[in-house]
A and B are shown apart, each in its own frame.
Chain A
Amino acid sequence: MRSYAFFALKRLIQLAVVVFAGTSAAFLVAHFSPISPVETIIGRVSGQSSFSPAAIESLRATLTELFGFDEPLWQQYLNFWSRFIRGDLGPSLIAFPTPAMELVMRALPWTVGLLTVAIVLAWLLGNILGGLAGYYQNSRLLKGFGVIAIGIQPIPYYITAFLMVVLFGYIWPVMPISGGFAMEIRPAWTLDFILTVLWHALLPAASLVLAGIGTWFLGMRALVSNIVTEDYVTYAELAGVRRGTIVGGYVIRNALVPQLTALAMALGGIFSGTIITEQVFSYPGLGTLLIRAVNGGDSGLVLAVSCVAVIAVAAAIFVIDLLHPLLDPRVKVG
């Protein structure tokens, strides 16, 4: 037990170092962006108006001071950490003075909702079908599914997503191709609203499941194909253990450890958003927010999204590290 506590402490220190390093890197990348939010705003304000050059210069000076860009970078870095420790990631510069985290929290539930469902469904379906295909290697149905999975897996996701838009939005227009819910329905805790959210999420979620299922399927089938040759499986079969028990209890369960690790990594990656899905389906989420932040040179917002992503991925790895010794006794904690 002591050795496990020591192991956990080491991993916790690693987590802190990763968060510090990742966040610092994000700070530097965000601040070295060649895109200036001041110029982005000036471009928008003056680009379509009869502004004199002198007025533009005045606006530039004001915004530079307002955003704190007149301070040296090291000072901005220290300011960032002093705010970060207090849980404040500062204002967004393209939605000034709205706190960047407020914008992140507005978009986050959409991304988490859509991706969690899509990743978990793809993981479940892919692993179960892959496990069965690995065990029942002579099944025609599962062989057929394997061929389909191998066929779909290399198709770039944007092609899959676009084909679904064309198929279900244009050729057979039965599903919504944009937005998170119907305009006619008021956002509230009503059955109508929940159903419209599900209806609008169906196509983007299906595209993600379709794109993700093949990888899980092929990975699991390969793992199981190795496990079925193990002695304990042969022994169980000879002992007359039910096939379902062998597949579910012995084979798939033993093959699940690496797949669980990969699942945790995938779930941690959710917080980076899914830019292509959001673009293709005009679906709300973190990806769109991140694009806007990058294009607008909004270092505050880029940092906020990056910090959430860094912390999420690091935390996911941390949790998996802690769980591994519990799931698999072969893992040493010393």
Chain B
Amino acid sequence: MRFTALATASSLALAACAGAAIGQEEGAAPPITEFPRDQTLILQNPEPPATNPPNFNIWVAGNGAGWSTGLHQLVMDTLWFIDPDEGLDGPLYNQLAAETWQYNDDFTEMTVDLREGIYWSDGEEFTAEDVVFTVETQMETPGMTWSAAFSDVVETVEAVDDYTVRFTLQEPNSRFHALFSVRWNGAWIMPEHVFSEVEDVMAFQFNPPVGLGPYTLHSFDPNGYWYAWEKREDWDRTALAEWGEPGPQYVIYRSIPTPDNRLIEMANGNLDVIHDLTPEATFSIIEDRETARGWFPGFPYAHPDPTLPMVIFNTQRAPFDDRRVRWALALMLDARAISMASYRGAATLSAIAMPPTGTHPDDYHAPMQDWLIDYELDLGNGETIQPYDPSIGSQIAEMVRPQFGEDVPTEEAAIQRAFGFGWWRQDLEAAATLLEAAGFTEGRGGWMTPEGEPFEFEVNTFTDGVINRMGTMIAQQWTQAGIEVTPVADPQIFASTLPLGDYDVATAWSIETWGGDPDLSYFLDSWHSDFVVEPGERQPARNWQRWSSPALDGIIEEVRTTEFTDPRNLELGRDFVRLMVDEMPVIPMMAYNVFSVYDTEYWEGFPTAEERPYANIVNNWANSKYIFTQLRPAGQTEGD
């Protein structure tokens, strides 16, 4: 009896405490009864639970607001979107803009015509004043997310009329529009009529958010684990309406930190889209659940993001300032073993400094195959070799076929898309010749530097996941080739190690592209020698290798004066690829494959690699908003 009383009392204490926690947020969520499953899409948000759940002010840097909680996919909007895949009608979307950017001849002015008839979720019309307010407010308020980005570039911004905005720039800039072009995110437009009434923009919570997207906030977990959004009644007054009515009435984003729980929730029908799993978990759920699938219908399942995991050399440190050493290290690697170790074979390899995803294989990888096959590498002793092996992708496909059978593609084109075209052939003899040409000697204990010291170094890599596995395998292969290499799990690799140049070699990435466009300015402009700092100083993103060359500067400077849509950009991109192969300041490895899994038990119409690659299935991208217009309840035909 006493136990019962105690248990009851304890339970009530628990309820009281939890109630107290929730009570603080009472009123934040509207009353509801249920989310009908056939009207509700549930997705995993890969962000950890929001630190500051009631905050939706996405324009303040570091205020603890969640971004991919649905906020930037469903509520925010801006001028253009560039899809990392093919898009519904091409990768470039004119979203709030009525057409593409218009620059003057010397790129010191950009004029934008805006769509008419677009309304904020509270009924106010979207006009040029909102765009002007967005830019001016952030320029006036240091600490806001895009304040520095605008302040460094914009001279003035004015509303020519209700639907036309003109930017005057401090210096010629042919890529200013990129700030308003979404690749994952972009500079979102602020509602002038809301923020102009706010005294302290930095402290403003913006709860509930007022947006230009087709959904509004329904409710959220005061602990930040989930956010529920409801379709606007006037969804047809948003820019997304051009592509149809979004299917789900409700959309819920859930933060589920552990992969096991994600898998279980999908198996129980409580999750329609998983942002990312481990390769092994992906294989498991696809095998066990008939309605679950990945981006590819079979192996390797994962979506290749336009990010390029690679080996990064600190080219300001000897001997990694010597291209012969960098090439020697590349030739010591066996890409097949690295693919198997990191992704269990589910990697999409790239021998060139370009992620093999989106439109890049058509723009770069396929057209450059002949050049790569014919490429001759000078070993420094008068000999040359042709290091490229176009069959590496096919070899990996054969390696995994015994386990995955019919799930592994058989056609060459499909194999190239899934596993990559080819990679550098492991050639220890050629690597030795290159090292000897660079003054290294091989002794009993392994390779010695020109100074007579053992050649040894560390490889900084991620603390876990596929990049960690990749770094560990690479270190192992170099060690097997006679160099003492130690992998180091580095939790601060992007925050301090790479920026401070506090490393010899790292596995991470310094190349991210639009994916859906051959233009390389997204990452390449920051590689100009103007931004390369002295050793010991903090290197601005993204030239972590601290590499520069007059040829590279020439390419970047020409890109700067070439209009974004000019076909010349593709030629410049290929020049960049050729220069990178010659110099090898980084060893490109593979696309960043994301093991997104979706389930068609409740919803159909998701993008697929083989039939409709109209959007990136990786759902924390703001670009994933277009997917909602294509979804329909399972079993319902197009006309229903």
Contact = CB atoms under 8 A, between A and B. Distances in A.
Contacts of B458: none
Interface in A154-194: 162, 165-166, 169-170, 173, 177-181, 183-184, 186-189, 193-194
Interface string B45-67: 00011011001000011111000
* Candidate in B149, B184, B260, B531 with the most chain A CB atoms within 10 angstroms: B149
B316 interface: no
A36 B495 contact: yes
Interface in A96-111: 96-98, 103, 105-110
A95 B61 contact: no
B185 A51 contact: no
A120 B264 CA distance: 31
A46 B541 contact: yes
A194 B8 CA distance: 13
Interface string B8-26: 0011011111111111111
Contacts of B414: none
Nearest to B269: A173
B638 to A, nearest CB: 31
B189 to A, nearest CB: 15
B255 interface: yes
Nearest to B527: A53
B29 A50 contact: no
Interface string A260-276: 00000000000000000
A178 B225 contact: yes
Contact of B149 (A55, A105, A194): A55
A173 B153 contact: no
Contacts, number: 253
Nearest to B514: A50
B217 to A, nearest CB: 14
A142 interface: no
B62 A41 contact: yes
B64 A193 contact: no
Interface stretch (A236-244, A250-258, A281-289, A321-329): A281-289
A49 B526 CA distance: 12
A131 B540 CA distance: 65
B271 to A, nearest CB: 10
A44 B186 contact: no
Nearest to B218: A183
Nearest to B268: A173
Nearest to B141: A62
B145 interface: yes
B33 A184 contact: yes
B231 to A, nearest CB: 17
B52 A49 contact: no
B485 interface: no
Interface string B207-222: 0000000000001011
A292 interface: yes
Contact of A63 (B33, B49, B143, B181): B143
Contacts of B254: 178
A150 interface: no
Interface in A17-76: 34-37, 39-59, 62-63, 66
Contact of A95 (B25, B26, B52, B264): B52
A39 B495 CA distance: 6
Given A113-B16, A165-B260, A280-B258, A36 B496 contact: yes
A114 to B, nearest CB: 6
Given A58-B152, A110-B18, A201-B14, A183 B492 contact: no
Interface residues of B, number: 90
A177 B491 CA distance: 29
A228 interface: no
A12 interface: no
A53 B540 contact: yes
A179 B531 CA distance: 46
Contact of A282 (B32, B143, B258, B492): B258
Given A51-B541, A52-B526, A34 B18 contact: no
A116 interface: yes
Given A98-B52, A201-B14, A92 B3 contact: no
A101 to B, nearest CB: 13
A292 B51 contact: yes
Contacts of A197: 14-15, 18-19
Interface string B130-165: 000000000000110111110111000000000000
Nearest to B252: A183
Q: Dominant SS at the A interface?
A: helix
Nearest to A116: B13
A279 B258 CA distance: 7
A205 B14 CA distance: 10
Contacts of B256: 178, 282
Contacts of A113: 13-18, 21
Given A186-B29, A194-B15, A179 B175 contact: no
A98 B16 CA distance: 25
B17 A112 contact: yes
Contact of A94 (B64, B142, B531, B541): B64
Contacts of A66: 142-143
A159 to B, nearest CB: 13
A137 B522 CA distance: 75
A117 B226 contact: no
* Candidate in A108, A170, A279 with the most chain B CB atoms within 10 angstroms: A170
A50 B62 contact: no
Nearest to A108: B21
B212 to A, nearest CB: 19
Contact of B17 (A42, A116, A165, A166): A116
A121 interface: yes
B366 interface: no
Given A49-B186, A110-B21, A120 B541 contact: no
26 contacts: A36-B495, A45-B61, A45-B145, A46-B541, A49-B185, A53-B531, A62-B148, A63-B62, A96-B63, A96-B64, A97-B203, A103-B52, A107-B223, A109-B20, A113-B17, A113-B18, A114-B14, A117-B10, A120-B10, A170-B267, A173-B268, A184-B34, A197-B19, A282-B49, A282-B258, A291-B48
Interface of A: 34-37, 39-59, 62-63, 66, 92-98, 103, 105-110, 112-114, 116-117, 120-121, 124-125, 162, 165-166, 169-170, 173, 177-181, 183-184, 186-189, 193-194, 197-198, 201, 205, 279-280, 282, 284, 288-289, 291-292, 296-297
Given A49-B184, A173-B264, A280-B261, 12 more contacts: A49-B179, A50-B186, A51-B541, A58-B148, A96-B202, A97-B202, A105-B24, A112-B17, A187-B23, A198-B14, A201-B18, A284-B49
